[in-house]
């Protein structure tokens, strides 16, 4: 029966090449022969699927099985066929879940063309190209441009770092000179800056004292601590308000700055510890009734002071002032 059908198909559609080109017509013709024209509506819908992918090895005269790779509905399956003649193996299509008919497959250049379809090749090519284009480890304009930007960025960072270091060193040297200079010189001293009514002078004094307070030179640190305490005693409200406003503009905390003055691994003298503790108390942001009482001494000359000015201050001494066991050397 199968041989008669194949002869009839060959007579209607011609050579094997034409049979490949008329694959759907042949499938429809053979389906009508086997099942009749009335059962086509639902079952023949499976024949409208894309052509099957088939790769076969031809069998030998010894009837060795040939393994064919069939991709039905994008699901690869192995089908083994045997033959006793040297000819392309004929394999029946694997039936679908709702299809029990047998549809012959054509193995030739048509299936090879499907494997090498230009659409698939183009998609793979452009996909690979677009991915590799952004990879930094592959040669190309993207990597060259990235290397240029990296080198330029490193060079810019080095230059900015050197500029910042030079600027910081210059500011530190100027701050130390202003801290150590005698009051008789033309430039104003730290005390004169705080005594001024200009907020700019207050900010300048705060910058000098905080710059020297974080110095690596312990003697410079001690002098800056002592200057903070002495100016706080002379101008309690001005000094405290000036430091608070200065640190708020820089988004810094006075307690954190005071804590950073003491570095681990260094043995400090009693003098350093004493003045560090007093300067930290003067700059502390915590509420302190003793420091609030010092506001009574603002803008009061010595000849006008009486016991009433000291009364509130003395009452708050026991609440807020801590006496250390050490004294300056």
pLDDT digits (tens, 9 = 90+) for 61-72: 433 333 444 434
pLDDT at 78: 43
Q: Write the secondary structure of the chain as one string of H (helix), E (strand) and C (coil).
A: CHHHHHHHHHHHHCCHHHHHHCHHHHHHHHHHHHHCHHHHHHHHHHHHCCCCEEECCCCCCCCCCEEEEEEECCEEEEEEECCCCCCCCCCECCCCCCCCCCCECCCCHHHHHHHCCHHHHHHHHHHHHHHHHCCCCCCCHHHHHHHHHHHHHHHHHHHHHHHHHHHHHHHHHHHHHHHHCCCCCCCCCHHHHHHCCCHHHHHHHHHHHHHHHCCCCHHHHHHHHHHHHHHHHHCHHHHHHHHHHHHHHCCCCHHHHHHHCCCCCCCCCHHHHHHHHHHHHHHCCCCCHHHHHHHHHCCCCHHHCCHHHHHHHHHCHHHHCCCCCCCCC
Q: How many CA atoms lie within 13 A of 306 on its CB side?
A: 2
Measured CA to CA, the distance from residue 39 to residue 246 in angstroms comes to 93
Supply the pTM of this predicted model: 0.47
Measured CA to CA, the distance from residue 184 to residue 202 in angstroms comes to 20
- In the predicted model, residues of the chain with pLDDT beneath 70 are 1-142, 182-187, 289, 295-296, 298-304, 309, 312, 316, 318-329
pLDDT at 140: 66
pLDDT at 71: 39
pLDDT at 302: 67
Query: pLDDT, tens digit, for every residue of 286-307?
Result: 777 677 777 667 666 666 677 7
pLDDT at 171: 81
């Amino acid at each position: 029966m199968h041989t008669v059908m194949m002869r009839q198909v060959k007579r209607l559609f011609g050579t094997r090449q034409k049979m490949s080109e008329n694959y759907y017509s042949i499938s429809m013709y053979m389906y009508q022969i086997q099942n009749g024209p009335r059962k086509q509506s639902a079952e023949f819908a499976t024949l409208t699927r894309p052509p099957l992918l088939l790769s076969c090895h031809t069998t030998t005269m010894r009837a060795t099985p040939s393994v064919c790779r069939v991709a039905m509905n994008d699901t690869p399956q192995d089908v083994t066929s045997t033959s006793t003649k040297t000819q392309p193996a004929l394999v029946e299509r694997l039936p679908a879940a709702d299809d029990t008919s047998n549809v012959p497959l054509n193995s030739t250049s048509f299936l090879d063309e499907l494997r090498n379809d230009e659409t698939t090749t183009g998609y793979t090519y452009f996909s690979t190209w677009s991915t590799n284009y952004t990879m930094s480890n592959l040669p190309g304009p993207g990597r060259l441009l990235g290397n240029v930007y990296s080198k330029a960025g490193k060079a810019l960072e080095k230059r900015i770092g050197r500029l910042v270091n030079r600027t910081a060193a210059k500011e530190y040297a100027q701050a130390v000179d202003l801290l150590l200079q005698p009051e008789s010189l033309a430039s104003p001293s730290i005390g004169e800056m705080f005594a001024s009514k200009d907020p700019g002078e207050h900010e300048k004094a705060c910058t000098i004292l905080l710059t020297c307070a974080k110095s690596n030179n312990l003697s410079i640190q001690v002098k800056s601590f002592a200057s903070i305490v002495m100016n706080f005693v002379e101008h309690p409200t001005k000094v405290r308000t000036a430091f608070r406003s200065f640190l708020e503009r820089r988004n810094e905390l006075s307690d954190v700055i005071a804590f950073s003055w003491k570095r681990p691994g260094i043995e400090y003298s009693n003098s350093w510890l004493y003045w560090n503790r007093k300067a930290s108390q003067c700059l502390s942001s915590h509420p302190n009734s003793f420091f609030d009482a010092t506001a009574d001494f603002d803008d009061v000359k010595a000849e006008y002071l009486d016991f009433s000015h000291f009364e509130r201050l003395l009452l708050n001494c026991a609440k807020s002032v801590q006496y250390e066991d050490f004294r300056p050397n």
